[in-house]
Amino acid sequence: MKVLVPVKRVVDYNVKVRVKADESGVETANVKMSMNPFDEISVEEAIRLKEAGKATEVVVVSIGTAQSQDTLRNALAMGADRAILVEADGEVEPLAVAKILKGVIAEEEPGLVLLGKQAIDDDSNQTAQMLGALTGWPQATFVSKIELGDGSMEATREVDGGLETIKVNMPAVVSVDLRLNEPRYASLPNIMKAKKKPLDTKAAADYGVDVTPRLKTLKVSEPPARAAGIIVGSVSELVEKLKNEAKVI
């Protein structure tokens, strides 16, 4: 079984982004970029499936600018076998990403697609579910555990009330949550080896997908700032302030 893993290049999770002065977006020039952290978890899971003999090949795909090659090389260094870059400029919305991924699936015919639950830049949490709709495959979202069976899979999902386990037919679309695994670091020899692994470049048009955004971003602004607080000297002062100043207890 082939596993397809879509990975997105995003502003690193440690960066506190700044809104541009003209409110047209956030500052991304000279900002550290990394693989979306959830996608590191899905790459890791795919590699583990291969190491366990349950997957035969791990193919990673990214939709974005030429620089997304770095992200793909990173996934190859972790242990993925092959990469596909679908070049597209500007912001590509989840619906368009899902449509392109559907095209990639038609060519690659994976038995499983592992996505992140959420890209930490747009915070959409949509792509996996949309891909499920477009392929007609079942979806297991926000998963913290997967167990492959014969023609089906059991997945444990992180939900508002706790955990839920569902069974889905294969092929299936999965979105991974934080507790699924702890991603490995790529070793130096593997980073060197990754440079020689195959990386194909395509264009969104190859899949007949129009990536023009459907939603128009009118502006991007700073969130309201909180007023500065105070440091209290003791627990009793804290309780006094909460009672008499803030009046919340």
Partner 1 sequence: MTNLIIAEHDNSELKAATLHTVTAAQAAGGDITIAVIGEGVSAVAEQAAKVAGVSKVVTVDGAEYGHQLAENVAPVIVALAEGYKNVWAPATTAAKNTMPRVAALMDVQQISEITAVVSADTFERPIYAGNAIATVQSAESTNIITVRTTSFEPAAAEGGSAAVESVAGTGDAGISSFVSAAVTESERPELTSARVVVSGGRGMQSGDNFAMLEKVADKLGAAVGASRAAVDAGYVPNDYQVGQTGKVVAPELYIAVGISGAIQHLAGMKDSKVIVAINKDEEAPIFQVADYGLVADLFEAVPALEAELD
CB of residue 78 vs partner 1: minimum separation in angstroms?
A: 20
The residue from 30, 32, 123, 210 that contacts partner 1 (CB under 8 A) is 123
- DSSP symbols for 22-64: TSSSB--TT--EEE-HHHHHHHHHHHHHHHTTS-SEEEEEEEE
Residue closer to ligand AMP, measured from CB, 34 or 118? 118
CB of residue 65 vs partner 1: minimum separation in angstroms?
A: 18
Window 72 to 131, contacts with ligand FAD (CB under 6 A): 120
Residue closer to partner 1, measured from CB, 53 or 182? 182
Task: Residue 222: name its binding partner from ligand FAD, partner 1, ligand AMP, none (Cβ under 5 to 8 Å by kind).
Answer: partner 1
What are the residues whose beta carbons fall under 8 Å from the beta carbon of 107, sequence distance 6 or more? none
Tell me if 163 sits within 8 A of 156, measured CB to CB. yes
The residue from 5, 78, 88, 98 that contacts partner 1 (CB under 8 A) is 98
In which residue are the tokens 């990754």 written?
A: 194
Is residue 41 a contact point for ligand AMP (CB under 6 A)? no
Q: Classify each residue of 183-200 as buried b or exposed e, where b means 16 or more C-beta atoms within 10 Å of its C-beta.
A: beebeeeeeeebeebebe
Tell me if 155 sits within 8 A of 144, measured CB to CB. no
DSSP 93: -
Contact pattern from residue 6 through residue 45 relative to ligand FAD, giving x for each residue in contact according to CB under 6 A and a dash for the rest = -------x-----------------------xx-------
Window 20 to 59, contacts with partner 1 (CB under 8 A): 26, 38
